[in-house]
Amino acid sequence: MAAPPARARADYDYLIKLLLIGDSGVGKSCLLLRFLMVLSPPVSLPPLGRIDFKIRTIELDGKRIKLQIWDTAGQERFRTITTAYYRGAMGILLVYDVTDESSFNNIRNWIRNIEQHASDNVNKILVGNKADMDESKRAVPTSKGQALADEYGIKFFETSAKTNMNVEEVFFSIARDIKQRLAETDSRAEPQTIKIAQADQAAGSGQAAPKSSCCA
Per residue in 154-188, pLDDT (tens digit) is: 999 999 999 999 999 999 999 999 999 998 887 77
Q: What is the pLDDT of residues 85-108, one digit of tens each?
A: 888 999 999 999 999 999 999 999
| Under 8 Å between Cβ of 18 and 68 | yes
The pLDDT value given to residue 189: 65
CATH number for the domain including 87? 3.40.50.300
DSSP string over 90-150: -EEEEEEETT-HHHHHTHHHHHHHHHHHS-TT-EEEEEEE-TTS-GGG--S-HHHHHHHHH
**In-domain check, residue 158:** yes
- Three-class SS state of 188: helix
Mean pLDDT of the chain: 81
How many domains in the chain? Answer: 1
The model's confidence at residue 71, banded by pLDDT at 50, 70 and 90, is confident
**In-domain check, residue 204:** no
What is the domain extent for residue 176? 14-184
**In-domain check, residue 5:** no
Predicted TM-score (pTM) of this structure:
0.77
Cα–Cα distance measured from residue 121 to residue 163, given in angstroms and rounded to the nearest whole number: 32
**In-domain check, residue 110:** yes
The pLDDT value given to residue 85: 82
| Under 8 Å between Cβ of 1 and 84 | yes
| Range in 38-47, 80-89, 143-152 with the lowest mean pLDDT | 38-47
Cα–Cα distance measured from residue 78 to residue 55, given in angstroms and rounded to the nearest whole number: 25
With pLDDT > 70 as the criterion, what percentage of the chain qualifies?
Answer: 71
